[in-house]
Homo-oligomer: A and B are copies of this chain.
């Protein structure tokens, strides 16, 4: 331990090496529930690539595990410390190094907060689309580690679509450059995308070249109320099948609608059992909204409320923004993240409701409906071990259901600790074998974020 900090201090300033247990305890975990964590031996805050390389060389030499961390807003325990590890916090590496409107790229350090980059891009009329709910605090490095998504993905895709190149410090301290600064490029294997979503298990991202897009116009939304969630799912399918690509398409089931209605005093009638929000940001947004409104009515919407302007749009979307807070009023909450083909979303939601009933738990679902990406939110009493057990059980059943419906155990939150038992099932034996071999290739000593993913 003394040896570890001494060696770290050879390459890091004293202020960047923290061993005070009162402080280090604060770096034990991200925002996932149900996940174990250990006590870090030390938390380091490097501010240069060379310092990160020194940390990794030291870790390799002394065989100490390294857990990379961003803002710890993750929901799968992927950033949880393991006992005696070096927590490698990248938050001090938070510079935007370039923002280039002609080449539409940004070059950033990993600790840059998503919202900071988004606003910097905005000043040039550009956008960095991936917008996880935690965008005001989460870091680009964390977004890359988890392959983060968000509300905009139905039109603009996820993090991996925007990562052109990476600088990565490998387990042994070597510095790897992947990818490119050009719009296109196919020279060699795509290691860039291999690192996106690898949750710090293959290397430590210390720099990223990101693609930007022209900033879209402000979106205009509608809210459609449905008497049952099946009809709302049918509307989602009808809208996509008709060729629309909304900039947002969010669905709340009856549990979430009820909680939001109470908390936000939205005045929705009791008969509203599902709420669908659809927005467009293109030049034809008014026409598109009108047509989508018609499709919703045809699918059984009891009420369709299109926004007339930006302000009304914001009001409508407020209900969606309240969803998690509203669910928090019902107990301790755990957010799941199962994506299914959108044609199967109705089955998924029916199945989750059935699991909630069977487990005697309140489970509300908010979905990025355009992507078939459901977030079942289990509310339970964390002081009641029996309820905790049933909450965990419901989580397992929800993942099993997602796989049965041809889906994935994680649409955008990652595997971390929470879902590692299930990853094997999704990948199958051949896939799992290759992924483990890949991990072994990059991290032969097993010091990089050990125990995550596998």
Contacts and interface: CB of A to CB of B under 8 A. Distances in A.
Contact of A342 (B103, B126, B154, B157): B103
Contacts of A372: 103, 182-184
A427 interface: yes
A146 interface: yes
Nearest to A185: B408
A185 B441 contact: no
Contacts of A340: 182
A412 B430 CA distance: 30
B411 A185 contact: yes
Nearest to A213: B245
Interface string A325-352: 0000000000000011111000000000
A423 interface: yes
Contacts of A178: 431
Contacts of A214: 243-245
Nearest to A76: B186
Contacts of A339: 180, 182-185
Nearest to A244: B214
Interface stretch (A37-45, A88-96, A313-321, A432-440): A432-440
Interface string A275-305: 0000000111000000000000000000000
A434 B176 contact: yes
A158 interface: yes
A185 to B, nearest CB: 4
Interface string A75-112: 00000000000000000000000001111110000000
Given A102-B342, A153-B184, A342-B102, A198 B193 contact: no
A448 B244 CA distance: 42
Contact of A188 (B189, B213, B453): B453
Interface in A186-221: 186-191, 193-194, 196-198, 202, 213-215
**A interface, how many residues as a size bin?**
35 or more
A176 B427 CA distance: 9
A237 interface: yes
A430 B102 contact: no
A184 B198 contact: no
Interface string A383-424: 000000000000000000000001111111111000100010
B414 A186 contact: yes
A213 B202 CA distance: 33
A262 interface: no
Interface of A: 100-105, 125-126, 146-147, 149, 153-154, 157-158, 160-161, 170, 174-178, 180-191, 193-194, 196-198, 202, 213-215, 237, 240-241, 243-245, 282-284, 339-343, 368, 370-373, 406-415, 419, 423, 426-428, 430-431, 434-435, 437-438, 441-442, 453
22 contacts: A100-B341, A102-B241, A103-B341, A149-B184, A154-B183, A161-B161, A175-B430, A176-B430, A182-B411, A183-B371, A184-B368, A184-B373, A185-B339, A185-B408, A186-B197, A187-B408, A188-B423, A188-B431, A189-B194, A189-B197, A191-B434, A434-B442
Given A126-B243, A153-B184, A186-B415, 8 more contacts: A153-B183, A183-B372, A184-B339, A186-B197, A190-B197, A191-B431, A283-B283, A438-B438
